[in-house]
Amino acid sequence: MGKSTPVKQAAVVLGALAFGWMAIEMAFKPLLDKARSAMDNSDPDRDPDDIDSDVKTKDVVEGNKGSPDRKPISYADAVAKNTTDA
């Protein structure tokens, strides 16, 4: 074998890194696909825990006052419903 030059060493290192990256991608493909699709579907402007504001926004946009048999989402909604019904 010939003399090891910096160009050969860089090529070997880059080849090893590329091979390692491909091996990790193939080994964890299902997990990575789920994570990537979840990140693609996520909306940074919407809080998934904020269900109450989504319902109110939808009711306001559609012009609904809300169904009378709708169960309150939280304690605050129950109190507000009881004070408006009285």
66: left (phi over 0), alpha (psi -120 to 50) or beta: left
Question: What's the whole-model pTM score?
Answer: 0.42
The tokens of 12 are what?
A: 């070997």
Give the whole-angstrom CA distance, residue 35 versus residue 8. 36
pLDDT the model gives residue 63: 53
pLDDT the model gives residue 4: 83
Q: Along the chain (86 residues), what's the average pLDDT of each consecutive run of 10 residues?
A: 86 97 94 87 72 54 55 71 67
Give the whole-angstrom CA distance, residue 44 versus residue 46. 6
Residue 57: count of CB within 10 angstroms of its CB: 11
pLDDT the model gives residue 83: 73
pLDDT the model gives residue 29: 93
- Residue whose structure tokens are 């129950």: 78
